[in-house]
Amino acid sequence: MNQSKSQNINWYMINLADKKLGRASSEIAKILIGKNDANFSYEKDIKNYVIAINAKQIVLTGNKAQSKRYYRHSGYIGNIKINEFKDMFSKSPEKVIVHSVAGMLPKNTLRDARIKRLKVYSGEEHPHKNVNEIINI
């Protein structure tokens, strides 16, 4: 039997207002991996979609909002790029959430497919109508 035809697609919605970035990201990663399902297996890609709303209201504890940095390097000598959290968050809070969740997913071939099923919106409005479950973290 073809697995893709027999598998259910579940949609979850998470409100990120006044939630901590790390705790919310780890819960989103668990849902994307499928650990909340009864038929969980590491090698299967369970089709769970997550809609995260109110990304601009996420909270960081301590002094992280001023001191957190994101590094990327092209591989060439002296070509390290540094982005501050406050700059990245002011431009696009969605990218901060996606970056955090991607770091918590297993580093394997399923990672790209799972992160594509995360939909993050900075406000309340979203175009998705087929939400199965609303989760409070």
Two tokens at 110?
Answer: 């399923």
Two tokens at 15?
Answer: 């409100």
Predicted local distance difference test score (pLDDT) of residue 7: 64
User: 3.90.1180.10, 3.20.20.120, 3.90.25.10, 2.40.420.20: which CATH number matches 3-60+93-135?
Assistant: 3.90.1180.10
CA 123 distance to own-chain centroid: 16
Residue 127: count other Cβ atoms within 10 Å of its Cβ: 7
Tell me the whole-structure pTM to 2 decimals: 0.88
How confident is residue 1, by pLDDT bands cut at 50, 70 and 90?
very low
- Higher confidence at residue 131 or residue 90? 90
130 pLDDT higher than 90: no
Which residue, 116, 111, 97, is CA-closest to 33?
Answer: 111
| Residue partners of 125: CB distance under 8 A and separation at least 6 | 53
Predicted local distance difference test score (pLDDT) of residue 41: 86
| Rounded mean pLDDT, 12-20 | 95
- Where do the structural domains in the chain lie, given as residue ranges? 3-60+93-135
Two tokens at 130?
Answer: 């087929």
How confident is residue 44, by pLDDT bands cut at 50, 70 and 90?
confident
Predicted local distance difference test score (pLDDT) of residue 5: 52
Average pLDDT, the chain: 90
